[in-house]
Amino acid sequence: MKAAEVNVGKLIDESRLGAYQWWVIALCAMCLVVDGFDVQAMGYVAPVVIREWGIAKETLSPVFGAGLFGMLVGSLTFSALADKLGRRPVLIGATLFFSVCMILTGFANTITELVVWRFVAGLGLGCIMPNAMALAGEYSPRRIRVSLMMMVSCGFTLGGVVGGLITAAIIPSLGWRAVFYIGGAIPLVLGMLMWISLPESIQFLMFRKSGGARIRQQLLRVAPNANVPLDAHFVLDEQKAKGVPFIELFKDGRARVTLLLWVINFANLLDMYFLSNWLPTVIRDAGYSTQVAVMAGTALWAGGVIGTLLLGRVIDRVGFTSVLAVTFLIAIAATAAIGNPVVMVSMVAVFIAIFFAGFSIIGGQPALNALAATYYPTSLRSTGIGWSLGIGRIGSVLGPVLGGALMHLQWSSSSLFLAAAVPACVSLIGVLAIARTQRSNGGTLRTAGAN
pLDDT tens per residue, range 156-198: 777 877 777 787 788 888 888 998 998 889 999 999 999 999 9
Instruction: Determine the pLDDT at residue 259.
Output: 93
Task: Enter the DSSP assignment of 199.
Answer: P
Task: Enter the DSSP assignment of 4.
Answer: P
Percent of the chain with pLDDT over 90: 22
Domain ranges for the chain, please list them: 5-446
Residue type, 79: S
Residue type, 298: T
Q: What is the pTM of this model?
A: 0.75
Instruction: Determine the pLDDT at residue 93.
Output: 92
Instruction: Determine the pLDDT at residue 450.
Output: 38
Instruction: Determine the pLDDT at residue 242.
Output: 58
Give the tens place of pLDDT for each residue, 314-334. Answer: 888 888 888 999 999 999 999
- Interatomic CA distance for residues 34 and 48, integer angstroms: 22
Mark the ranges of the chain whose per-residue pLDDT is less than 70: 1-3, 209-211, 237-246, 441-451
Instruction: Answer for the pair 119, 66: CB distance below 8 angstroms, yes or no.
Output: yes
Neighbouring-strand partners of residue 233: 5
Please tell me the number of Cα atoms within 13 Å of 159 on its side-chain side.
28
- Interatomic CA distance for residues 338 and 333, integer angstroms: 9
Instruction: Determine the pLDDT at residue 440.
Output: 74
Instruction: Determine the pLDDT at residue 387.
Output: 84
- Interatomic CA distance for residues 228 and 215, integer angstroms: 10
Q: For the chain, how many residues are written?
A: 451
* Class of domain 5-446 (CATH, top level): mainly alpha
